[in-house]
A and B are shown apart, each in its own frame.
Chain A
Amino acid sequence: MKIKPLLIIPLIVVLMIFSVFGYALLSGVNPKAVPSALTGDPLPDFKLSRLEDSKKFLTVSDLVGEPMLVNIWATWCASCKYEHPVLNSLAAQGVKIIGINYKDDRAAALTWLSEYANPYSIDIFDPNGDLGFDLGVTGAPETFFVDSSGEVRYRFQGPITDVNWQNKLKAIFDEMA
């Protein structure tokens, strides 16, 4: 059976495209998850006040030193309330978590923390979302995994739950230690 080589080309192209589809499906591609642009880069510098004291300002060097989670949260964010107990238990286990209160009201945030416990070693107030913007935050809650040298290793969008911590995020954190 003589096959003109030209006639096979459509078949080959199509099979190649399908293999990529198959690979994408099997490897669990998520078109909506956006990796952080800062992966591998240091935490951007900033000058923001502490949540509890509007006259005390912090910069990035005040935060960096050990592996930590930088958590973006707000009182207007429903999922943050959902995430909060998990953060509390992680803090109790010794995980260092920095809280960045994002585009919120200082008084409301402080009340919130006193009501629901405060898992954050340091609380930072980012009223305009300036640090959030430099971090490439797309919404709340978001958590950045930062290592001891201040380099961003990973960005997780959405609330941290017991399930996703155990399945995936704990490993990322442990690797930084």
Chain B
Amino acid sequence: MKWLRTYYAGLVLVCALLASGAQASSELLTFDNDGLRDRYEELSFQFRCPKCQNQNVADSNAPISQDIRQKTYEMLHQGFNDQEIIDFMVDRYTEFVIYKPQMSFVTIWLWIVPAFLLISGLTLLIRLTRSSRQGVPTELTADEQQRLKALMEDKS
């Protein structure tokens, strides 16, 4: 009656699965707390896969991306802060590996140029409108109002 034994074994297994909430699947990576998960996701988003055609480490399945993700995960649980993890990777892969430009004399221009353009644009806007305002008197001065009044009364 081997089939009966198999049947009962299967039944027990099914019950065990049901009892465990049928959640036999597990998250691929478990985090000690949600804060670490958020930081992991943020860092995976910022790290660049060194071997791919422009992809971040989160979206790439290349072996080197997996390595970087794994190392990030470990370092997060070892208590390193974000900048330390970034510096660790940059020490090995150069700044190429981080999509978030690290502040330096070269990268500061990323902010200076648009800021400069914005300020120049605003200055231009104000100068254009100021000069036009000077040229167009939209209200009559008191003197001119008098003259207008006189002229109107004159006509009538």
A-to-B contact residues, CB < 8 Å: 32, 34-38, 103, 129, 133-139
Contact residue among A32, A133, A139 (Cβ-Cβ distance under 8 Å from B92): A133
B116: Cβ under 8 A from any A Cβ:
no
B interface secondary structure, majority = helix
CA distance A32 to B52 in the complex (A): 9
Q: State whether A138 and B64 are in contact (beta carbons under 8 Å apart), knowing that A34-B50, A133-B71 are contacts in the complex.
A: yes
Residue of B nearest to A76 (CB): B63
* A35: B residues at CB distance < 8 A: 94
Within 8 A of A (CB), among B44-75: 50-51, 53, 62-64, 67, 71
Residue of B nearest to A128 (CB): B67
- With most chain A CB atoms within 10 A of its CB, the pick from B63, B67, B91, B92 is B92
B94 touches A37 (CB 8 A): yes
* A134: B residues at CB distance < 8 A: 92
A138 touches B91 (CB 8 A): no
B90: Cβ under 8 A from any A Cβ:
yes
Residue of A nearest to B62 (CB): A139
B93: Cβ under 8 A from any A Cβ:
yes
A99, chain B: closest CB distance, angstroms: 19
CA distance A32 to B64 in the complex (A): 15
B96: Cβ under 8 A from any A Cβ:
yes
Q: State whether A37 and B90 are in contact (beta carbons under 8 Å apart), knowing that A138-B50, A138-B51 are contacts in the complex.
A: yes
CA distance A35 to B63 in the complex (A): 19
Contact residue among A32, A34, A37, A129 (Cβ-Cβ distance under 8 Å from B67): A129
B-to-A contact residues, CB < 8 Å: 50-51, 53, 62-64, 67, 71, 90-94, 96
Residue of B nearest to A102 (CB): B63
A52, chain B: closest CB distance, angstroms: 25
CA distance A135 to B92 in the complex (A): 6
Given contacts A37-B90, A38-B92, 17 further A-B contacts (CB under 8 A): A32-B53, A34-B50, A34-B94, A34-B96, A37-B92, A37-B93, A37-B94, A133-B67, A136-B50, A136-B93, A137-B64, A138-B51, A138-B64, A138-B93, A139-B51, A139-B62, A139-B63
CA distance A125 to B51 in the complex (A): 23
* A139: B residues at CB distance < 8 A: 51, 62-64
* B93: A residues at CB distance < 8 A: 34, 37, 136, 138
* A138: B residues at CB distance < 8 A: 50-51, 64, 93
CA distance A138 to B47 in the complex (A): 14
CA distance A103 to B67 in the complex (A): 11
* B67: A residues at CB distance < 8 A: 129, 133
CA distance A139 to B51 in the complex (A): 8
| 5 sample A-B contacts, Cβ–Cβ < 8 Å, listed by A number | A37-B91, A135-B92, A136-B94, A138-B51, A139-B64
Query: Which 5 A/B pairs are nearest by Cβ-Cβ distance?
Result: A136-B92, A138-B50, A37-B94, A138-B51, A136-B93
Residue of B nearest to A6 (CB): B124
CA distance A139 to B53 in the complex (A): 14
A44, chain B: closest CB distance, angstroms: 9
CA distance A32 to B48 in the complex (A): 12
* B53: A residues at CB distance < 8 A: 32
